[in-house]
Structure 1
Amino acid sequence: MKCALQDTPSLFALRRQARPGVTTKSLSSSQGSRFKQGQLAFLMAGVLLVMQPMPAHAAGPIVLDMASQPLADALLQIGRLAQVEIAFSPGQVREKRAVALQGELTVEQALDTLLAPWGLAARAQGDQRYTIVTATVAKGLSVLEPVRVQGQRVGERNYTREELDQRAAGNRDLSSLLADNPAVRQNEAAKTSANRGSLALEDISFYGASPFQNQFQIDGISSTNQIDPASRNLNLQVGNVPAYSQAYNLDTNMLESVTVLDSSIPVEYGRFTGGVVDAKVRDPKGSNSFRADFSYNSSGLTSQTVPEEQKKKFGAGEPGFTPAWTKRFSSAMLDVGITDNTAALISVSRRESSIDRTMRVLHEKEFSDVNTNSKDRVDNVFAKIHTRWSASTDSAWTFKYADRREDLVDSGITANRVQWQHQQKAYGLGFDLNHDFGWGQGRLQLGYDQMNSYRNSDGTEYMVNMVFLPNGRPDYTYISGGFGQESTEQRNLTMKTRLEFKPFQTGAIEHTPYVGFELAHTKGEFVRDRDAYGGQRRHYSDGQPSKVQVLNYYRAGEVGVSYTNASVYVSDRMSWQRLALTTGLRMDKDNYFGNTNLAPRTLLEWDVLGTGETRLSGGWSRYYGMDILGIAMRERKSQLHTLLVTGGNPVDRPSHTAYKLDGLKTPYDDEWALRLQQQLTNKVAAELAYVRRYGRQQVSIEGLAKTGYTYTNNGKSKTDAVTLSLMNTAPWTLGESLWTGRVDVTYQHSKRNNKLADGYDGEAEAQEENIYYNGDLIRRGDRPVGDYNLPWRVSAGVTGMWARYGLQMNNRINWNSARMDVHYVGLNRGDGLEKYESGRVGSYWTWDMRLDWEPAMLKGLGLGLDVLNVLDKQAPVVVSTPTSVLNPNLYRTGRELWLRASYRY
């Protein structure tokens, strides 16, 4: 029995459907068979069933009495009633829900009512056939989409292309996009003006989980760095290669959508404890169109506040500081229809920030500052080819490439021409095959990804040079050289299959089951291209030869580990009247740590009134995280080091730092989630959600370099979160304008025994120990959390569109509550216990605005202005320690202007 709860469209839904702009030809069984024999034998073995086209009849008015239901089911029902063929692809209708329809309507009216809220439209192809396409509006403005509530999975937020176009984008990266997501918290230091010229990605934490245990995907294939995602040291240091969890630094302008899953996450997703972020590359439409975009920003268009004590480092542009910059972002996209059934999209972008940095240069005993024009550049290239092989089979090939390079210099007092470059480079190829068997929908995905991080410097000898006078007294000291090139390299081979069965009945219960299998082989390496040296050398001005006092030898070579992770999962959604119970089980097994992890997940949903307007859901889930390969390589990496000279005497002492991993288990999170969804009016919906997360077996480290380190599972955490959301389910009208809006009020409270920012180098603290906090003796476990801590946040966004004038405006307002920073201030003299004091960071407001104009007299041209932090509120986001006599407060970036232009043809 179908009910309004069945809001997750089955993937088996009508497959004789066309991607927007790609015509689908109806095939008879014999035609489809000959077609597949000629062109699909290399793609899928077995018999491919081709669905018969519907009988052709003229479409007249039809009487409808349809309850709210999955969009796919509603389209099928209209097709049956009107005896017309409605062609759509599963991706167009997946996770979308249709509104209720009553009355006598034409097919066109019914389709428009169902499709308009989702930014879709029906294109007539004769009297008896309609193809579902992406809707367009006058002057090329994006469709003003409602904020989704029904039709999305519980715990899911989908950022569509239209919503991405409406937001002030800043650096156009995923971290900026998700910064105001209710489930997300960032390290507040990420919001400072000291390094605003950088294009570095910021880390995000879902519900207090580790920011380095999120699953980032591109078109469903993992793009997550598993080697050392917590490495943030930008300094020139041997063995140090900065990296990020997001191995691909993505330009959101290149994406079709971004799907975020933060709670009640289905079993097909695994290897995370935080959340899942799936970025979908833009799909080809076969429209034979071209688009170019340009954005401009500079430090002259940005307001910054830097404390007096940091102005010298800031002015010199030391690592972590960008005093003056110019940002130029450009992108281009070409959409081509190759045949009636094949379309291709090629998109390229370059985001570049030119930054003024000061490099120290030594000339005849005197140091001088030389200005350099450093670059921080991110290139993206994507290509996607989509082919509809038959009415029941389609495939897509996707090429992806992202390359970020950041130039840095040493502005220290004794540095002499010391400069280096950080690079994060990733590229890959993905294949996606979908087939409708009639009794179910099958999907096969294959992926190859190479994700590397580099640190490059010209020299291979990094030396501290001490120059002495003839009388033996020190004259001056300078640092020179570098460590050559070092890199961390990760190679992924991925295969994913999924089979979703057509719903079937057992008595009064309807089942919608699916099963899947994943196989992922990952190889991680640390590579040093050339031998490198570091140490101390003495120079004498009386003619004596130079003497090496300390010399470390870092041998060229590579160390690595590889492992294979196999996953299998099964899930069934059982519906009975107004109740639906989803149960699932996922098993992951790896052959390196030897862990076998079982992750059950459940979700119970109740359509309270049977209309879909009041829905209550609750569930329990377990999420197992990733195994970080970097910790498995540390001991072997240390063996590439040999101490050759110390105190001026040769020693030839190989280095070996022990790291014990025996018995290390996979970290996991247990989650309880409750949600109430209520349709308040025909255009406004509300959602109240509560999520509790328990972090278990979190990885931490103990020990000393001399005695060796041991990785343990002693970390743990607990987070409670409440979110209230109000949103439009359809635009509302004010004069000639259309408006949508969304408001999120969220509260989070976390307790944990480690610092998230420390990654895998942090030590878990004993929660039962006593400490002093603001002068009071308390348990360590009762001390407030410092990093990734923001108790309250209110985010409100409203978008208005005046199609007649080609105008669109978006305003986003965020209120961030006051919070406490926690600082260690030493040991208590009386009993030797640790002392901590708090520093209050006040609340602050931000207002971001985007304005777009597409003038009617200049067809295809678009002009835009982004204003971030309109009111120029530069509140402190990190405060100084209570014992500091200085004021190293970090302030939020002030008003920031972006000028934009685009052209479509």
Structure 2
Amino acid sequence: MRALMSLTPLIAILAGLHAASVSANHPPSVTAATPCRDNSTDTACPQVLPAIKVRGQALPAGLQVLNHELIEQLPTGEGNLADLLRINPAVDFSRSSRGSANSGVMRPEEFSFHGQAYYQNLFMIDGIGVNNDINPASGNSDFGTPGLTRPTGGSSPQGYYLDVGLLDQVEIYDSNVPASFGGFTGGVVSAKMKRYDGGDFVDLRYGIQRDEWESFHIAPRDVDDFDNAAGYDAEFTPIYRKDSYSLSAQQGLTARSGLTLGLSRRSSAFLQTTPDGDPVYFNDRIDNIHARVDTQWSERLDTGISLRYSERHHDGITSPVYDDPYTKDHSGIGLGGNLEYQLAAGQTFTLDMGLDRNEDTLDSARSISVIDLSSGEKYGGFGDIDQHQTRLSLAPKLELRPVHNGNLEHRITLGGELRYVDARYSRPENVDNYFYLASGSLSRHSRYARGDVAVNYLSQALYVDDRIRWHNVDLRLGLRADYNGWLGNLDFAPRLSADWDLFGNGHTRLLAGANRYYGRSFLQYAINDALQGLYTQTTYRPDGTVLRIKQGVDSSGQLDLSTPYSDELMLGWVQQAGPFNSTLKLVRRDSHDGVRKVDHNDLTYYDNGGLSNTTSITWELDHADHPLRIGNSATVARLALGWKDSTSNSQDDDGYEGKIDTNPVFYQGRLIDSSDLPAWDYNIPLSVSLSSITQVATWNLTWSNVVNLRNGGVIARDTRDNTADGYDIYDDVALNDLVTLDTKLQWKPKLWSDHQGYLMVEVSNVFDDVISTKTGDSQYISDLYTPGRKVWLEMGLRF
């Protein structure tokens, strides 16, 4: 109830806007002024209010643009990319992604667009795709026991864990995505790193978060384990400290070129307990480096060269039995180049280039493990593993000058992508496991041999996009062709959309779209079964002679996969009324050929049995062009609602490693196909986000608030019972609703000369409301709760 009361002031803001629109457009106490530079410290200079959407040039209804002012002002917790997307109604997060018991962990969250697989989103930096395609659906095994006959877990589809403080702009596409984007079935997150804008400055910041500033919520049966930080898998992190350090700087090099530099480290140290009962502190950190030189060679030629680096590094312990420590890294390093040239005939040519290496590594203390029943000794580790992909990308694009034919105008864009990918799994040395009997004799020796598995291939894409204007109607006719040299698939994806300006004044627009999106394929498919062939187990008799030798074999069938795809139908209505901008959208996604694992006739292989269907309705309302001014303050507010109905034949968290029940199931009193069951995760049926940003320019204060409501919804759970005919019985599991308020207050006082201070306090879940995310009814499974109240402090200096 307290959280619901927090809606009141924000609703009042929205309700009073229309009456205040005249004064908002002509405020008596504020005169027109030239906007200040971003690095200005002049207190007399009015702050420029951020706009979630750029007006003047109408944005496509499926695109959201976040500029760097808004990025800084939104409550973003620890500064991860996922935190920016919480105000987007098309985006959903896993119910289990955040927990109150283990908030010391630094891993960023994953997210889904319109119910699609979270590992099938496209991530881009400065025009180049930077996804990690090694084993992106394996994030659940972050601190778990490493696998020796499967790829290392704890990975992510995000090749770079970006610090949002280094971003200049983020474009988020959820529907009607242009043909220039490919390799996704969900959505597109295109980040533009900061670049030199003509002002020289240095910005230093330090932030801190501590366990004493968090309200924990733990199941009664787990309180003792939590208080004592029982375990080594980061399930409980009662004692932690998080620190963040960042440096951002810009410096002009010549009259036409400048350097941008960004460095950041976000780290966490939290208490754990070894299998022997000894306390140990784990370190979990994320580092980012961004360097870029931009040059304007002439009025027609601009170039940019950049270096990007991101690494997450954390500790772990091998297992309860083999207690050697290990470290895991998820990293990306890359070089980027951007060229834009205005041709004499009026065309614009751009070329984006990238050379990126993404890596998931395991570094263990030893590559030998022993259980000796005669001495009681148990020790060892699982050796080292290196998984990496190197990608060379070229993305040329040519925008032709507009062509007019009577009332028709054509704006044609031609482009393509060329990607060479080299992906490898490497075990540099043998890993040996020995089991000794109580008599002291060797009973079993297992060897996981050194070896490499590699896949390298060339992918190509061509696309054409024709934007046609006829009177008040804008049409986009696009076609994209992708060829995957590994799987040998040639895929054609039409992209069609229409935008009708009903009265010709931009106030009322009707939208429609029909699009197909093809996803990506992953190294995991190729290496799983090859690793089985590197396994040998030798069993001995008590006298030391060999009893038998078991050699692992490749049990897979032939890898013959189609590319997963999602078909989209979209209808929309955009309305401007008084100070308000409203966008209503209906999006239907039918997804096919999802990759899943199958066991059949003693063979294990992948097939394209995955199916899902999602219907989404989103509504967004803002007044970004008409801030509400009260005294010296200016406030913009935004309301976003999302409703979703999602079904899927995948009923687990294993992604492409999950197996699908192809038999009918008994659900809600009748037999249905498993694909008609509610989606297992990323299926919050109703979400509401209400955000506001208030600026008091004369005091250099910015106050931001975000209220989020998440309807719990229903999932279907296998009861483990069967009908008389042998069909599995599924029952509904209802989950609770959650309302949270996050608030952030920033103060940028002018200190002296051209120096500006920075103080920030952010409180997430102000009213400390939580729900259980438990999805089963077993009494042996504890309740897990969403995070409680947290406080984050940050200070800095800009000069």
- Normalising by structure 1, what TM-score? 0.80
**Residues of 2 paired with 1:635 and 1:142: CA distance?**
58
**Residues of 2 paired with 1:317 and 1:325: CA distance?**
15
Contact 1:632-1:661 at 8 Å conserved across structures = no
Structure 1, unaligned runs of 5 or more: 1-111, 124-132, 362-368, 469-475, 541-545
2:398 to 499, 507, 510: 499
Contact 1:756-1:788 at 8 Å conserved across structures = no
- Report the Cα offset of residue 756 of structure 1: 6.5
* 3-state secondary structure, aligned to 2:162: coil
* 3-state secondary structure, aligned to 1:467: coil
**Residues of 1 paired with 2:687 and 2:653: CA distance?**
21
Alpha-carbon distance change, 225 to 708 in structure 1, aligned in 2, over 3 angstroms: same
Structure 1 match to 2:152: 241
Structure 1 match to 2:354: 447
Contact 2:307-2:335 at 8 Å conserved across structures = yes
Q: In the alignment, does 2:316 pair up with 1:408?
A: yes
Amino acid paired to 1:306: I
- Report the Cα offset of residue 211 of structure 1: 0.8
Structure 2 match to 1:721: 616
**Residues of 1 paired with 2:312 and 2:371: CA distance?**
30
**Residues of 2 paired with 1:576 and 1:776: CA distance?**
51
Contact 1:307-1:887 at 8 Å conserved across structures = no
Q: In the alignment, does 2:337 pair up with 1:431?
A: yes
Contact 2:478-2:496 at 8 Å conserved across structures = yes
Structure 2 match to 1:32: none
Alpha-carbon distance change, 259 to 735 in structure 1, aligned in 2, over 3 angstroms: same
Q: In the alignment, does 2:367 pair up with 1:460?
A: yes
Structure 2 match to 1:396: 304
Deviation per CA, 1:493-541, whole angstroms, max 9, x where unpaired?
001100001112122201100100210011111111211112422354x
Deviation per CA, 1:157-189, whole angstroms, max 9, x where unpaired?
111111111112212111222234211111101
Contact 1:173-1:250 at 8 Å conserved across structures = yes
Contact 1:141-1:806 at 8 Å conserved across structures = no
Amino acid paired to 1:691: V
Structure 2 match to 1:337: 252
Alpha-carbon distance change, 313 to 671 in structure 1, aligned in 2, over 3 angstroms: farther
- Normalising by structure 2, what TM-score? 0.90
- Report the Cα offset of residue 782 of structure 1: 4.0
Cα RMSD (Å) of the superposition?
Answer: 2.2
Amino acid paired to 1:319: D
Structure 2 match to 1:95: none
Q: In the alignment, does 2:191 pair up with 1:279?
A: yes
- Structure-to-structure mapping, 1:574-613, within 5 angstroms: 574-613=468-507
Amino acid paired to 1:680: A
Contact 1:318-1:410 at 8 Å conserved across structures = no
My pick for the range that moved more, 157-166 or 754-763, is 754-763
Deviation per CA, 1:82-110, whole angstroms, max 9, x where unpaired?
xxxxxxxxxxxxxxxxxxxxxxxxxxxxx
Contact 2:624-2:637 at 8 Å conserved across structures = no
Deviation per CA, 1:384-431, whole angstroms, max 9, x where unpaired?
00001111001000100011111123684xx46432221111100001
**Residues of 2 paired with 1:406 and 1:323: CA distance?**
17
- Structure-to-structure mapping, 1:118-157, within 5 angstroms: 138-139=42-43, 143-148=48-53, 150=55, 151-157=58-64
- Structure-to-structure mapping, 1:514-529, within 5 angstroms: 514-529=413-428
2:575 to 663, 670, 678: 678
Deviation per CA, 1:620-648, whole angstroms, max 9, x where unpaired?
00001112121022222222222233676
Amino acid paired to 1:710: Y
- Structure-to-structure mapping, 1:224-623, within 5 angstroms: 224-232=131-139, 233=141, 234-237=143-146, 238=148, 239-242=150-153, 243-311=155-223, 314=226, 315-321=229-235, 322-361=237-276, 369-409=277-317, 412=320, 415=321, 417-438=323-344, 439-467=346-374, 479-540=378-439, 546-623=440-517
Amino acid paired to 2:762: D
1:665 to 549, 562, 571: 562
Structure 2 match to 1:898: 792
- Report the Cα offset of residue 592 of structure 1: 1.6
- Report the Cα offset of residue 772 of structure 1: 4.5
Amino acid paired to 1:689: K
Deviation per CA, 1:636-661, whole angstroms, max 9, x where unpaired?
22222222336764534321132234
Amino acid paired to 2:785: Y
Deviation per CA, 1:340-381, whole angstroms, max 9, x where unpaired?
0110011110000011111133xxxxxxx2111210011111
Contact 1:236-1:482 at 8 Å conserved across structures = no
Q: In the alignment, does 2:548 pair up with 1:651?
A: yes
- Report the Cα offset of residue 134 of structure 1: 5.8
Deviation per CA, 1:475-495, whole angstroms, max 9, x where unpaired?
x5x542111111211000001
Contact 2:35-2:48 at 8 Å conserved across structures = no
Structure 1 runs (4+) greater than 6 angstroms displaced: none
Amino acid paired to 1:749: D
Deviation per CA, 1:699-748, whole angstroms, max 9, x where unpaired?
111106x9221211111111000011101232221111011111001101
**Residues of 2 paired with 1:180 and 1:153: CA distance?**
18
Contact 1:821-1:879 at 8 Å conserved across structures = no
Amino acid paired to 1:428: G
- Structure with higher Rg: it is 1
- Report the Cα offset of residue 693 of structure 1: 0.3
Contact 1:211-1:756 at 8 Å conserved across structures = no
Structure 2 match to 1:862: 758
2:635 to 739, 754, 770: 739
Structure 2 match to 1:14: none
Amino acid paired to 1:145: P
Contact 1:345-1:384 at 8 Å conserved across structures = yes
Amino acid paired to 1:645: T
Structure 1 match to 2:16: none
My pick for the range that moved more, 181-190 or 775-784, is 775-784
My pick for the range that moved more, 148-157 or 729-738, is 148-157
**Residues of 2 paired with 1:772 and 1:579: CA distance?**
46
- Report the Cα offset of residue 220 of structure 1: 1.3
* 3-state secondary structure, aligned to 2:71: helix
**Residues of 2 paired with 1:200 and 1:524: CA distance?**
23
- Report the Cα offset of residue 857 of structure 1: 4.6
My pick for the range that moved more, 393-402 or 236-245, is 236-245
Amino acid paired to 2:340: N
**Residues of 1 paired with 2:749 and 2:334: CA distance?**
39
Amino acid paired to 2:253: I
Contact 2:650-2:680 at 8 Å conserved across structures = no
* 3-state secondary structure, aligned to 2:656: coil
Structure 2 match to 1:837: 731
* 3-state secondary structure, aligned to 1:316: coil
Q: Percent identity?
A: 28
Structure 2, unaligned runs of 5 or more: 1-30
Contact 1:309-1:886 at 8 Å conserved across structures = no
- Report the Cα offset of residue 137 of structure 1: 7.1
Contact 1:679-1:686 at 8 Å conserved across structures = yes
* 3-state secondary structure, aligned to 1:178: helix
- Report the Cα offset of residue 839 of structure 1: 2.4
**Residues of 2 paired with 1:646 and 1:218: CA distance?**
55
**Residues of 2 paired with 1:666 and 1:539: CA distance?**
53
Amino acid paired to 1:834: D
Amino acid paired to 2:144: N
Alpha-carbon distance change, 571 to 134 in structure 1, aligned in 2, over 3 angstroms: farther
